[in-house]
C-alpha cells in the first residue's frame, strides 16, 4: 500500500515517494480550464497547501507527475511561469518584518526563475517580476495562506490592521496586471470582506460556497471507500467494516459549504488510519482559545449553535474592525453548513452546526474547561460518572457531582454573569454525558431547559434562579411533561433552584409521572 501523506504538502514529493494521493484533478481541471482569478477559503489542515502545490505543477507542465491521474491526457501541458507566494514560517510582527517578508517572497520567486529585478520596493519589484516573466508565457500567481499575517495577530488589533493594509496594497498589484496573467488563485482560512483586503482586486471570483467546488478539498464518502478500503478492512475486519464506517462517518465526516456535499477532514482521516484509533486529531492540532474568549465576551447562546440560522451576510462580514463570532466559528471549521433553505428567488438561509462528533465533543469539553478551570483535567471522568448515575436513576448522586463542579468555579469568574454561568455549565455538562439529551426543548406553550433520556428513565429538568419548587411548578403549570405521557418507563419531573449567594444549587425537587402501558414508544423531537 502507498504511504499515508501525513504532513506532506508538496505534490511532487508526494508522487515521487509513492504516497497516497486522492485524485482531485477532474475538479481542478474544471477550475483552471477558463483561466481567471479565484479565491477559496477553507479551515486549517484541509489540504490548501497541497492544492496550491498541485496547481503549481500543472501550470509548470510537469505532465509525468500526473501519470495515472484523471487530468493526465486532458490538457495540453503548456508550461507557464508560476509565482508562488506562501506566508508559512515567515515573520511579520513588526512593520519592517512585514515589508521584508514581501521583499523576500518577490526576490525568491525572481531567483527561482533566473530573473534579475532592478526596481526598488516590493510593490514595484512584484510588478516588474510579472511583466518580465510574461515574456516567456502568461504568468500564474498562486497565494497560499494569504491571511496568515492578519489572523496570527487577531488579538493584536494594531498589528493586524497594519498588516492588512500592507497586504491590501500588495494584492492590488494583481488587478493592474491582467494582460500578463493566465490564472490567479488565492487561498486562506478567513474570508475577509472584500472592502478590507481585496477592494482593488474586484475581479476575484470567490468559490468558497460554490457547489461546483464543494469537494475540491476534503474526502468524500466515495473517496474514503475507494482509497482506504484495504486499510479499513485491516483496521476493522470484514465483519465489523460497516460499523466502523458508521463510526468514522459520525466522528469525522460532516463538513460542507453547500449543504449538499459533505466531506471528511483529511488530517483526521490520515491520522485515524495511521494510529488505528479514534481521537480528536484535527481539534488538537489547533487551539480555539480566542474563539472561546469571544463566546464569553458576547455571551453567545451555545444551544443555538446546534442549528444556527444565518443569512449570507454572515459569510462575508468578517473583518478586524467587526468580528462576528459565528462567522469566525464557520471560517475556522468549528461550524459548517448543514442545510441551505431557499427563501424566494434571490435569498436563502443557511443552517449551521458542528461538523461532526470530533469537533462538537472536543469543543464543548474545551468550553467547559474554560468556564470551570479547576475542573478541566477531570471532565471526561466526571461526565462518565454522571452518565452512570443517571442510567441507574441515582438523582441524589447526580446533583452531588454537579454541586461539586459549581463549587470549583472561581468567584471572580462567576460574578460576571451569574445566571449565564449556571445555564452554560449545566448545558455543557448535559451535552458531554454521551446519552440522549435535548436542551431548550420547544413545546406548544414554552421551552423547557433539558430532557435526558436513558433506556428506562426520562428526566425533565427546569432550572431557576430561585427555589426548586418554583422550577417544578413551571414544569407542571406549562405541562412540559405531556409529550412523555406515553413512555413505558419512568418519567421524573425535576425542578432545580440556584442560590445566588451560595453560587450553587440550593435544592431540587422531584415528582414522577404514572407509568404508561408497556410497549408505548418514546416521544420524538
Q: How many CA atoms lie within 13 A of 225 on its CB side?
A: 8
- 304 belongs to a structural domain: yes
Return the percentage of the chain with pLDDT > 90, whole number.
67
Q: Is the pLDDT of residue 413 over 70?
A: no
State the DSSP H helix or E strand holding residue 215, giving kind and residue range, or none if neither: none
113, 146: one domain: yes
190, 57: one domain: yes
Q: Is the pLDDT of residue 321 over 90?
A: no
Nearest to 32 by CA among 207, 193, 173, 219: 207
463 vs 339, more confident: 339
CATH code of residue 50: 3.40.50
Looking at residue 195, its pLDDT comes to 52
448, 474: one domain: yes
User: Which pLDDT band, with edges at 50, 70 and 90, does 253 fall under?
Assistant: very high
Looking at residue 317, its pLDDT comes to 58
CATH code of residue 388: 3.40.1350
Q: How many domains does the chain have?
A: 3
pLDDT tens, residue by residue, 166-177: 999 999 999 889
pLDDT tens, residue by residue, 195-243: 577 777 778 899 999 999 999 999 999 999 999 999 999 998 878 899 9
168, 272: one domain: no
State the DSSP H helix or E strand holding residue 77, giving kind and residue range, or none if neither: none
279, 407: one domain: no
- 164 belongs to a structural domain: yes
In the three-class reduction of DSSP (H, G, I as helix; E, B as strand; rest coil), residue 319 is classed as: strand
Residue whose cell numbers read 471549521: 333
In the three-class reduction of DSSP (H, G, I as helix; E, B as strand; rest coil), residue 452 is classed as: strand
> DSSP labels for 122-138?
HHHHHHHHHHHHTTTS-
pLDDT tens, residue by residue, 46-97: 999 999 999 999 999 999 999 999 999 999 999 999 999 999 889 999 999 9
What whole-number distance in Å separates Cα of residue 183 and Cα of residue 167? 19
Q: Is the pLDDT of residue 521 over 60?
A: no
187, 45: one domain: yes
pLDDT tens, residue by residue, 260-288: 999 999 999 999 999 999 999 999 999 99
Q: Is the pLDDT of residue 248 over 70?
A: yes
Last residue of a domain, one of 213, 228, 252: 213
Average of per-residue pLDDT across 150-158: 91
202, 252: one domain: no
Give the residue numbers spanning the domain of 339.
219-368
- 3 belongs to a structural domain: no
Look over the chain and give the mean of its residue pLDDT values, rounded to a whole number. Answer: 90
- 273 belongs to a structural domain: yes
What whole-number distance in Å separates Cα of residue 28 and Cα of residue 354? 28
Q: Is the pLDDT of residue 523 over 80?
A: no
317, 330: one domain: yes
345, 237: one domain: yes
28, 115: one domain: yes
Looking at residue 170, its pLDDT comes to 94
198, 227: one domain: no
Last residue of a domain, one of 172, 198, 213: 213
Which grid coordinates are listed for 194? 472584500
User: Which pLDDT band, with edges at 50, 70 and 90, does 319 fall under?
Assistant: confident
pLDDT tens, residue by residue, 421-459: 777 888 888 888 877 777 766 665 566 788 898 888 999
- 325 belongs to a structural domain: yes
Q: Is the pLDDT of residue 415 over 50?
A: no
- 520 belongs to a structural domain: no
Angle between helices 48-59 and 25-32 (to 10 degrees): 60
Angle between helices 241-252 and 221-236 (to 10 degrees): 130
What whole-number distance in Å separates Cα of residue 482 and Cα of residue 443? 9
Looking at residue 431, its pLDDT comes to 87
Which grid coordinates are listed for 272? 485515524
- 362 belongs to a structural domain: yes
In the three-class reduction of DSSP (H, G, I as helix; E, B as strand; rest coil), residue 57 is classed as: helix
417, 316: one domain: no
pLDDT tens, residue by residue, 100-139: 999 999 999 999 999 999 999 999 999 999 999 999 999 9
Last residue of a domain, one of 368, 392, 410: 368
Average of per-residue pLDDT across 317-344: 88
- 5 belongs to a structural domain: no
Amino acid at each position: 500500500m502507498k504511504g499515508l501523506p501525513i504532513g506532506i504538502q508538496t505534490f511532487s514529493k508526494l508522487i515521487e515517494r509513492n504516497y497516497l494521493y486522492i485524485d482531485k484533478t477532474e475538479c481542478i481541471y474544471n477550475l483552471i480550464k477558463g483561466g481567471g482569478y479565484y479565491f477559496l477559503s477553507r479551515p486549517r489542515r484541509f489540504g490548501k497547501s497541497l492544492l496550491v502545490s498541485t496547481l503549481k505543477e500543472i501550470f509548470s507542465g510537469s505532465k509525468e507527475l500526473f501519470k495515472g491521474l484523471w487530468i493526465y491526457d486532458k490538457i495540453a501541458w503548456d508550461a507557464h511561469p508560476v509565482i508562488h507566494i506562501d506566508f508559512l514560517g515567515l515573520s511579520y510582527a513588526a512593520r519592517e518584518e512585514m515589508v521584508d517578508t514581501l521583499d523576500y517572497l518577490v526576490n525568491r520567486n525572481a531567483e527561482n526563475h533566473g530573473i534579475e529585478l532592478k526596481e526598488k520596493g516590493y510593490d514595484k519589484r512584484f510588478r516588474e517580476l510579472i511583466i518580465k516573466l510574461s515574456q516567456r508565457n502568461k504568468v500564474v500567481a498562486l497565494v497560499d495562506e494569504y491571511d496568515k499575517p492578519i489572523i496570527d495577530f487577531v488579538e493584536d488589533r494594531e498589528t493586524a490592521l497594519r498588516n492588512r493594509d500592507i497586504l491590501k496594497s500588495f494584492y492590488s498589484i494583481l488587478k493592474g496586471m491582467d494582460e500578463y496573467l493566465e490564472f490567479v488563485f488565492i487561498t486562506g482560512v478567513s474570508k475577509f470582506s472584500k472592502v478590507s483586503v481585496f477592494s482593488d482586486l474586484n475581479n476575484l471570483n470567490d468559490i468558497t460556497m460554490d457547489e461546483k467546488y464543494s469537494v475540491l478539498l476534503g474526502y468524500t464518502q466515495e473517496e474514503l471507500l475507494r482509497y482506504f478500503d484495504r486499510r479499513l478492512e485491516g483496521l476493522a475486519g470484514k465483519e465489523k467494516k460497516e460499523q466502523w464506517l458508521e463510526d468514522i462517518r459520525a466522528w469525522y465526516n460532516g463538513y460542507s459549504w453547500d449543504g449538499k456535499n459533505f466531506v471528511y477532514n483529511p488530517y483526521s482521516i490520515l491520522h485515524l488510519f495511521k494510529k488505528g484509533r479514534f481521537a480528536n486529531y484535527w481539534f488538537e492540532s489547533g487551539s480555539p482559545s480566542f474563539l472561546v474568549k469571544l463566546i464569553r465576551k458576547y455571551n453567545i447562546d451555545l444551544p443555538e449553535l446546534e442549528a444556527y440560522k444565518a443569512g449570507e451576510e454572515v459569510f462575508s462580514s468578517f473583518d478586524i474592525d467587526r468580528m462576528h463570532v459565528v462567522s469566525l466559528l464557520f471560517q475556522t471549521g468549528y461550524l459548517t453548513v448543514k442545510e441551505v433553505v431557499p427563501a424566494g428567488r434571490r435569498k436563502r438561509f443557511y443552517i449551521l452546526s458542528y461538523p461532526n462528533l470530533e469537533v462538537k465533543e472536543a469543543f464543548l469539553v474545551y468550553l467547559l474547561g474554560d468556564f470551570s478551570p479547576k475542573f478541566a483535567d477531570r471532565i471526561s471522568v466526571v461526565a462518565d460518572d454522571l452518565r452512570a448515575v443517571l442510567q441507574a436513576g441515582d438523582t441524589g448522586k447526580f446533583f452531588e457531582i454537579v454541586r461539586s463542579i459549581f463549587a470549583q468555579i472561581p468567584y471572580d469568574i462567576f460574578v460576571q454573569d451569574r445566571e449565564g454561568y449556571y445555564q452554560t455549565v449545566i448545558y455543557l455538562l448535559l451535552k458531554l454525558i454521551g446519552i440522549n439529551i435535548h436542551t431548550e426543548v420547544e413545546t406548544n406553550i414554552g421551552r423547557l431547559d433539558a430532557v435526558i433520556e436513558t433506556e428506562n428513565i426520562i428526566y425533565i429538568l427546569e432550572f431557576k434562579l430561585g427555589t426548586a419548587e418554583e422550577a417544578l411548578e413551571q414544569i407542571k403549570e406549562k405541562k412540559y411533561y405531556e409529550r412523555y405521557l406515553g413512555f413505558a418507563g419512568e418519567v421524573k419531573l425535576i425542578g432545580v433552584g440556584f442560590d445566588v449567594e451560595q453560587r450553587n444549587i440550593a435544592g431540587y425537587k422531584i415528582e414522577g409521572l404514572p407509568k404508561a402501558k408497556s410497549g408505548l414508544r418514546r416521544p420524538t423531537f
